[in-house]
Amino acid sequence: MPDLATPLIAWYGENARDLPWRRPGFGAWGVLVSEFMLQQTPVTRVIPHLQAWLMRWPTPTALAADAPAEAVRQWANLGYPRRALWLHRAAVEIRDRHSGVVPRDVDALLALTGIGDYTARAVAVFAYGERHPVVDTNTRRVLSRAVDGRSQSGSPSRRDLDAMTRILPEHPADAAIVNAAAMELGAVVCTARAPKCKVCPLADQCAWRAAGYPDTGDGRRRQARYEGSNRQARGAVLKVLRDAAPQPVDLAQVIADWPDALQRDRAIDSLIADGLAEASGGLLSLPGHRVAG
């Protein structure tokens, strides 16, 4: 295994973006919220939403005391709104199980609603300084190219964590920097479509570069088109409910002009099934906002 840690640490020290969750004293709750928001959402979209969220709910206990509907409203247009509901449930669990303090243990974090391997390890490492491998999509691409000589990464697997562990320094603080640096490198230099190999700190060790940049195929799962999708219909329904909250909306009037009536109905039904909407007496509302019967 080549020494990737040394050039990554040096590069990160000079090139890391100034992001809120990287600043000293940001806190474990802020890190947790940022990780929920950053899932499949660009950094530039997340920052203003994150700041507004933490101004309104500076602690898990503050969020837990509010209605789930308020979390969905505050989520606004970030997308994948189930994350807002999961974050609210996690806040309740943190209040009830951990006295309002975000746990530092990976297993305790994994036991919270909506938290998987990546988020649990990210909070433990970036908020508490624990030594664990943290692997996101950008990290997988860096490892695939630099270590395996592949043009793109495959589907996530346990092998990713093992590969990242092998390049981590022993000291937890240095390991945290390498975790962050690998993600940062994949986000701004070793990008999926237009990698900037001339300025990459790993160029001399990169197996993909040494092999002449072969196209080894792209096994990444393609995201379905948003325009005309069920996701778009769900988003349109939620916007109506957020704009009307705390008042319910006549079910027949919810995106009544949607071009596909069956898709509209499926969107409403799926939101109810996911706990993102509640229906009663011909009215629809966000969860936790009482619907008059």
Computed on alpha carbons and rounded to an integer, the radius of gyration of the chain in Å comes to 21
Distance (Å, whole) CA 260 – CA 267: 11
Instruction: State which H helix or E strand residue 250 sits in.
Output: strand 249-250
Distance (Å, whole) CA 57 – CA 265: 33
DSSP code of residue 198:
G
| Residue 35 appears among annotated catalytic residues | yes
Which of 35, 70, 93, 184 is an active site residue? 35
User: Quick check: helix, strand or coil at residue 138?
Assistant: helix
Distance (Å, whole) CA 230 – CA 236: 10
Q: Which long-range contacts (C-beta less than 8 Å, at least 24 apart) are formed by 236-239?
A: 236/267, 237/264, 237/267, 237/268, 237/271, 237/277, 237/284, 238/72, 238/81, 238/271, 238/276, 238/277, 238/286, 239/77
Q: Which residues are catalytic?
A: 35
